[in-house]
Amino acid sequence: MVFVTSDPHGHRGVLVAALQRTGLLDDHENWSGDDAELFVLGDLMDRGPDGIGVVDLVMRMQAQAETAGGSVGVVLGNHEVLALGMHRFGLETESLTPDAMSLVLTWQANGGKMEDQEALTDRHLEWMARQPALVLHDDVVLMHSDTMRYLEYGSDVGVVNDAIAKAVQSDDIDAWWECLRRMTDRYAFVRPNGGASAAEFARTLGARRIAHGHSIVGDLRGVEPRETDSALLYCDRSVLAVDGGIYAGGPCLVVDLDAWPT
């Protein structure tokens, strides 16, 4: 079985409860999914009370799942890019450049938590920086942001991942800013001709379908996040949105990809 979830945004308890309901974690918060696969589609940090707790949980699940014959994968979200950039450029408050000050203000405006920044270790930073931006799983491309702008880095999953990894590990703040702009874009597949855009995006990367987080399902449906009770299939069932909007009062959605109707 293959599951996806997205955008826990520091709400560790909500994520744990959702994974326990799905049978992927036991009562002691240990992996119980055997050989199942789970993908977390980005935005582990910011907005919520315990971003580092979410990161530590996912890192531990990865190790436990591998031992059990399963796997836990993560794709890089724009808030991981933001957290990495803040750590690299924004902590030296005595000597901030104008670009770095803009970064600090952006991080603050998007729910950045200084407690998370202070708790980040080299191990956390190295782990976040090496997570892929895109994963191709069978005929589904797994991604965080519902944007076409990944393709500005290339037309191959490996090329895109290498380019984004280079940007988030760079000392070039301009490269970092451009990466953040591209990964903060959204709504590409609900705009006019969104279905054609989704088909082009998937086809370019060798897939037929797309699963993403980033844009809250309630916003895509035009309802309050608290009214959400399921993921959203759209673009003739070729695109799956799984961000329930936890930080806005919505649920943590854990979706079985094997149940995706085609």
**Predicted pLDDT of residue 91:** 77
The predicted structure's pLDDT at residue 220: 96
- pLDDT (mean) for 190-216: 97
Mean pLDDT of 219-224: 95
Residue 93 has pLDDT above 80, yes or no: no
Contacts of residue 7, defined as CB under 8 A and 6 or more positions apart, other chains included, come to: 41, 42, 43, 77, 213, 214, 216, 243, 244, 245, 246, 247
pLDDT in tens, 177-200: 999 999 999 999 999 999 999 999
- How far is residue 14 from each of residues 10, 65, 165, 246, 252, measured CA to CA in Å? 9, 20, 29, 8, 7
Report the top-level CATH class of 2-259.
alpha beta
pLDDT at 98: 87
Query: Quick one: average pLDDT of 112-138?
Result: 95
pLDDT bin (cut points 50, 70, 90) of residue 94 is low
Please state the pTM of the whole predicted model: 0.95
pLDDT at 99 over 90: no
pLDDT tens digits along 15-30: 999 999 999 999 999 9
pLDDT at position 172 over 70:
yes
Q: Which amino acid is at 38?
A: L
- How many C-beta atoms lie closer than 10 Å to residue 87's C-beta? 16
Residue 144, pLDDT score? 98
Q: What is the pLDDT of residue 261?
A: 78
Residue located via tokens 């082009």: 200
